[in-house]
Amino acid sequence: MYLKKLELYGFKSFANKIELNFEKGVTAVVGPNGSGKSNISDGIKWVLGEQSVKSLRGSKMEDVIFAGTSTRKPLGMSEVSLTLDNSSQALPIEYDEITITRRMYRSGESEYYLNKSACRLKDIRELLMDTGIGKDGYSIIGQGKIDEILSSKSEDRRQLFEEAAGIVKYKHRKNEAEKK
């Protein structure tokens, strides 16, 4: 399973719809300061359900919507789609490709889609549980994250090992069942 495609429209500095296609292996993104490199990784976190504006380097969630420039009007919504290659069937879904979409209007509500069907963020979280993908998964290692892992409490570190071992979903189901 690997990240195959990322589409951004109205997200931060991406006023035009752009499509980034990734191959298997390593991809490096290079460009001048302020050209939008970090906005790409913010887009990945956001589509995976990030709710923390601080982690998205903003002060309110609306900051992810293109705010306009001296020559261009602001946009009213932001949409990011992330496509994973699932031809290995690593995710228990019959499709060879999985596209996760998040859309948000200035009013603030986010809509989520799995392969173009509306769903809840909860459905996306459950699908990606134990894969390392997800806003808190180990597939996104930001600046300072390694230090955080090394210096964190053993209970917090345990989270990471449980995700890697693939037992988070069982714990989650147990908790859900106990709530009922």
Q: Which of 1, 38, 132, 157 binds ligand ATP (CB under 6 A)?
A: 38
- In angstroms, give the least distance from the CB of 125 to ligand ATP: 25
Least distance to ligand ATP, CB of residue 89, Å: 34
How many angstroms separate the CA atoms of 81 and 175, rounded? 30
Known binding residue 32? Answer is yes
Q: Quick one: which segment of 26-34, 90-98, 114-122, 148-156 binds ligand ATP (CB under 6 A)?
A: 26-34
Please state at what angle helix 168-179 crosses helix 154-165, rounded to 10 degrees: 110
Shorter beta-carbon distance to ligand ATP: residue 38 or 139: 38
Name which position in 25, 34, 92, 108 contacts ligand ATP (CB under 6 A).
34
Q: Does 13 bind ligand ATP (CB under 6 A)?
A: yes
175: annotated binding-site residue?
A: no
To the question of whether residue 74 is assigned a binding role by annotation, the answer is no
The Cβ of residue 44 has, within 10 Å, a number of other Cβ atoms equal to 18
Contact 82, 47 (CB under 8 A): yes
Residues in the site for Mg ion, rule: CB under 5 A?
A: 37-38
Q: Residue 35, interface with ligand ATP (CB under 6 A)?
A: yes
Give helix then strand counts, H and E, for the chain. Answer: 5, 6
E-only strand ranges, 28-164: 77-85, 97-105, 110-114, 117-119
Closest CA to 66 of 6, 14, 7: 14
- Using CA atoms, how far residue 33 sits from 5, 39, 43, in Å, is 23, 12, 17
Q: What mask of x and - would describe binding to ligand ATP in positions 50 to 89, judged by CB under 6 A?
A: -------------x-xxx----------------------
Would you list which residues are annotated within the binding site for ATP? 32-39
For ligand ATP, the binding residues (CB under 6 A) are 12-13, 31, 33-39, 63, 65-67
